[in-house]
Every structure is written in structure tokens, then in C-alpha cells.
Amino acid sequence: GNSVTQMEGPVTLSEEAFLTINCTYTATGYPSLFWYVQYPGEGLQLLLKATKADDKGSNKGFEATYRKETTSFHLEKGSVQVSDSAVYFCALSARTGANSKLTFGEGITLSVRP
């Protein structure tokens, strides 16, 4: 079956530090890949996505590249801010007939200190 594995957390960084959150996946076929973010007390919201190999998703200074050869979709940001403190989920979506199902990784909590 499909699965997503994220690096273990939590992660604590100082403001303006470089961020990398690792994500690898296992899937049949050609899934779409996503990063979702959950701010405290809120639901998840899409951060970025990539739908085919070598695509780069980007938003709010975050980037991730769909690497089929390493089955990875690592999230990076050059300079984090306190407001980036949240839980980050890597996810994949694979089509099954007319339907699709989103499979999430375990989530990783990022805390950014001033």
C-alpha cells in the first residue's frame, strides 16, 4: 500500500535558520505529493504541491522538489520565522479508479524561537 515517512521530530530552530524536513514515500503508480501545514488550533491547509517527477512546489518561501529516483519530497526554507511554528505534514494522493485518497505522514512539529 501507499505510505509516507517523515523524519522524526520535534524540530526547534532559531529565527533565520535554514530548514529541511525530510519526507520519503512508497506508492504504486504516479502519485501527487503535498505538504500541508497545521497552525495551532486550526485545521490543515495546503502549503505546496507537485504532481509529477521533477516538479518543484513553492509557497511562502518554502520549496519541495518531487524526486522520483529517491522517492522523496523534502521541504526546505532558507530563513524561518517565528510565524512558521506549526505542524508540517507530507502527504501523497494516488488515484484509485475515479477516487483518490490522501495518505499523510506522521507530521512534525516545528518551533522557531526568536
Partner 1 sequence: DTAVSQTPKYLVTQMGNDKSIKCEQNLGHDTMYWYKQDSKKFLKIMFSYNNKELIINETVPNRFSPKSPDKAHLNLHINSLELGDSAVYFCASSPNPAGSYNSPLHFGNGTRLTVT
Three cell numbers, residue 30: 504516479
Q: Which of 23, 64, 90, 94 binds partner 1 (CB under 8 A)?
A: 94
> Judged by CB, which is closer to partner 1: 19, or 48?
48
In the block, cell 500541508 appears at 36
99 scored as a contact of partner 1 (CB under 8 A): yes
Contacts of 110 (CB under 8 A, 6+ apart): 9, 10, 11, 12, 13, 19, 21, 80, 84, 85, 86, 87, 88
CA nearest neighbour of 35 among 9, 57, 8, 11: 57
107 scored as a contact of partner 1 (CB under 8 A): yes
List binders of partner 1 among 15-74 (CB under 8 A).
32, 34, 36, 38, 41-46, 49, 51
Residues that bind partner 1 (CB under 8 A): 32, 34, 36, 38, 41-46, 49, 51, 87, 89, 93-95, 98-102, 104, 106-107, 109
